[in-house]
Amino acid sequence: MKLSLEQVEHIAELAKLELTSEEKERYREQLSAILDHADTLQALDVEGIEPMAHAVMLVNVTRPDVSEESYLREDILANAPDVQEGQFRVRAILE
Amino acid sequence: MDAAPTIYEASEMLRQGALTSSELTESLLAQADRADSRVKAYLRLTPDLALAQAEQADARFADWRSKGGDAPPRLMGIPLAVKDVLCTRGVPTTCGSRILENFVPPYDAAAVENLAAQGAVMLGKTNLDEFAMGSSTENSAYFATHNPWDLGRVPGGSSGGSAAAVAAGMALGALGTDTGGSVRQPASLCGVVGLKPTYGRVSRWGLIAFASSLDQIGPLAKDVRDCAILLQALAGHDSRDSTSVQVPVPDYSAGLTGDIRGLRIGVPVEYFIEGIQPGVERAVRDALSTLEDLGAQVEEISLPHTKYALPVYYLIAPAEASANLARYDGVKYGFSAPDAQNVWDMIRKTRGQGFGAEVKRRIMLGTYALSAGYYGAYYLRAQKVRALIKRDFDRVFETVDVLACPTSPTVAFRLGERIEDPLQMYLSDIFTLACSLAGICGISVPCGFSDGLPVGLQIMGNVFDEPAILRVAHAYEQATDCHLQRPNLNQEV
């Protein structure tokens, strides 16, 4: 099955990736080939099999609700592309 | 000093006072100076930090020699390299990606802390496929790493920089990460030892996430004893990683006796398939004979769902990656596209420009597998088949102690040979993926050469049975001299 250009554009939008038209065409080909390969799984009978999300038994890990030392705000903001008044600054969300 | 010693040898010399950590560190930095312009294993060397850590270690040794008491830890003063996907406080950590080009972590990863706690010296950060996605280290946004055995070939990946640094004598050991084979496959292709611990054995705190149900940090070194020493420092519970387990840590060096008489070794028939290079099969079959000569019981077993590991992995890992990599939005850290109209435009452009081709391909694939209408057919089905793969292992570990097979179907391939064909590239991991999906442990140990290039023998063990795989790998190593071979770095390219 070959993905359509619209499907590729829809996935890119879900993933918030701006792609060039060459990239869209290339991924259309390559993703289609990879998904064809993945179709070998469709032949297996998985009736009644519990999906395995993790390799170990996961349990909720909690700690007492007591405040602890954390990182300094300046240290965290030091990596931010844009900062104003001790906060992350972004472009307009509503126009 | 001639060729770089092993960690164990160096540690003995440091304890005896026959060598200082400063001398050792300087000699490794000098080797990197000579060789790394050709190998390109390091993204960044940290000589000032390394020499300061070495001086501290030398002071600790001097103190111990004057006052007595317990010997300093095995890694005290030992120069190591760290894959650039592990956070290092104050030292840029790029994941081999443009999107994190200027990221400087405010903390150390737990694995890095654990090495530092023993007094290890960090020489620098090693190259990798971007976000650890790849099998050749060609997906690094910065440059490709070259295999020290043949500079025209890849070192494997994604921990290719770590494997090449150890093989070229530019570090005594290194940290890598393994999601589907990224420690074992480059270890195999570079002729060094690489171990993927059981999922949950080593804290992932501060490891920049790729596929959280699979990622595991593992050591690379010149021999099995060194791997055991490194694993000893890394293993253990960490409350900051909720998937880290509370299982006691055994003494990993204690079982390295060379005695494997009566040990049951299963050979999965599905790992000797069409497409495996004859030279690789020959070296691995010879290794199995050696294990038999050492008194192990070698028998064929079957892991019937092996062929599904590749499609299962390439649905689950990208699905998890698409969620993990959603955090790169140009707001909190890293690259941010400058020429955007509004915040959504900025995020699309940041991600479109900041990620490389393979990372975008996997984000797209994972997003598709998780999207409405395809979740059941792809992601959920892949998780069910993952359970079948795990059952295969559970069943065979009722009758055998460990499994032995090739690490990779081929020796190191040429730079550029597979980069345009993602499926061909993915096939280099077919023998390492199932072990990762099942969450069990595996080690690759050098077992000979094919056309002058190293071949790796993979030993897989049940969950938390690192002592068994280390014991078998060590016994094999003692019976052969493959791990003593070193590449000639003065080759013509």
Write the pLDDT tens digit of every residue in B365-389: 999 999 988 999 999 999 999 999 9
Mean pLDDT score, B286-299: 98
pLDDT recorded at residue B341: 87
Active-site option among B22, B140, B158, B336: B158
Query: Residues A16, A18, A24, A27: is their CA dihedral positive or negative?
Result: negative
CA distance A81 to chain B (A): 6
Mean pLDDT score, A3-15: 97
Q: Tokens 């052969």 correspond to what residue?
A: B480
Residue window 44-73, chain A: list those with CB within 8 Å of chain B. 44, 46, 49-56, 58, 60-61, 63, 71-72
Residues of A in contact with B358 (CB under 8 A): none
How far, in Å, CA of B422 to CA of B361, rounded? Answer: 9
pLDDT recorded at residue B328: 98
- Nearest CB to A41 within list B200, B242, B308: B308
Residue type, B425: M
Task: Inform me whether the C-beta atom of residue A5 falls under 8 Å from chain B C-beta atoms.
Answer: no
| SS3 of residue B404 by DSSP | strand
ipTM of the complex model: 0.95
Query: Residues B45, B51, B52, B56: is their CA dihedral positive or negative?
Result: positive
The string of pLDDT tens digits covering residues A22-77 is 999 999 999 999 999 999 999 999 999 999 988 877 778 888 999 989 899 999 99
Q: Which residues contact B44 (CB under 8 A, 6 or more apart)?
A: B84, B91, B92, B124, B125
Query: Residues B273, B278, B284, B289: is their CA dihedral positive or negative?
Result: positive
Residue type, B115: L
Q: Which residues contact B150 (CB under 8 A, 6 or more apart)?
A: B412, B452, B453, B491
Residues of A in contact with B383 (CB under 8 A): 51-53
Partners of B147 in the β-ladder = B150
**Is residue B2 predicted with pLDDT exceeding 60?**
no
**Is residue A8 predicted with pLDDT exceeding 80?**
yes
Mean pLDDT score, B12-30: 97
- Nearest CB to A58 within list B243, B347, B388: B243
- Nearest CB to A27 within list B326, B361, B385: B361
Give this prediction's pTM: 0.97
CA B357 to chain CA centroid, nearest Å: 22
Q: How many helices (H) and strands (E) does chain B have?
A: 15, 11
CB pair distance less than 8 Å for A52 and B386: yes
Apex B74 CA angle, B72 and B80, nearest 5: 120
Closest to B197 (Cα-Cα) out of B28, B442, B493: B442
B203 is catalytic: no
- Nearest CB to A41 within list B104, B311, B390: B311
The string of pLDDT tens digits covering residues B154-186 is 999 999 999 999 999 999 999 999 999 999 999
Closest to B311 (Cα-Cα) out of B434, B440, B141: B434
pLDDT recorded at residue B236: 97
CB pair distance less than 8 Å for B422 and A51: no
Residues of A in contact with B202 (CB under 8 A): none
For the record, the structure tokens of B62 come out as 């001097």
How far, in Å, CA of B318 to CA of B76, rounded? Answer: 38
CA–CA distances in Å: residue A39 to residues A28, A42, A44, B387: 16, 5, 10, 18
Apex B7 CA angle, B142 and B445, nearest 5: 70
DSSP B151-174: TTB---SSSHHHHHHHHTTS-SEE
Task: Inform me whether the C-beta atom of residue A43 falls under 8 Å from chain B C-beta atoms.
Answer: no
- Distance, first Cα to last Cα, chain A: 40
Task: Inform me whether the C-beta atom of residue B355 falls under 8 Å from chain A C-beta atoms.
Answer: yes
The string of pLDDT tens digits covering residues B455-475 is 999 999 999 999 999 999 999
For the record, the structure tokens of B446 come out as 């050098």
Q: Which of B89, B307, B368, B389 to mutate to test the interface with A (most CBs of A within 10 A)?
A: B368
Mean pLDDT score, B200-223: 98
Residue window 390-409, chain B: list those with CB within 8 Å of chain A. 390
**Is residue B25 predicted with pLDDT exceeding 90?**
yes
CB pair distance less than 8 Å for B104 and A8: no
**Is residue B35 predicted with pLDDT exceeding 60?**
yes
Apex B12 CA angle, B6 and B15, nearest 5: 140
B66 is catalytic: no
Count of Cβ atoms closer than 10 Å to residue A73 Cβ: 11
CB pair distance less than 8 Å for A16 and B213: no
CA distance A82 to chain B (A): 7
| SS3 of residue B313 by DSSP | helix
pLDDT recorded at residue B19: 97
Query: Residues B224, B81, B157, B374: is their CA dihedral positive or negative?
Result: positive
For the record, the structure tokens of B278 come out as 């004859």
Task: Inform me whether the C-beta atom of residue A16 falls under 8 Å from chain B C-beta atoms.
Answer: yes
Task: Inform me whether the C-beta atom of residue B382 falls under 8 Å from chain A C-beta atoms.
Answer: yes
Q: Which of A8, A18, A83, A93 to mutate to test the interface with B (most CBs of B within 10 A)?
A: A18
pLDDT recorded at residue B492: 65
Q: How confident is the model at residue B274 (pLDDT cuts 50, 70, 90)?
A: confident
**Is residue B493 predicted with pLDDT exceeding 80?**
no
The helix (run of H) or strand (run of E) holding residue B298 is strand B297-301
CB pair distance less than 8 Å for B311 and A42: no
For the record, the structure tokens of B7 come out as 């960690």
Residues of B in contact with A52 (CB under 8 A): 383-384, 386-387, 390
Closest to B457 (Cα-Cα) out of B426, B432, B425: B432
B158 is catalytic: yes
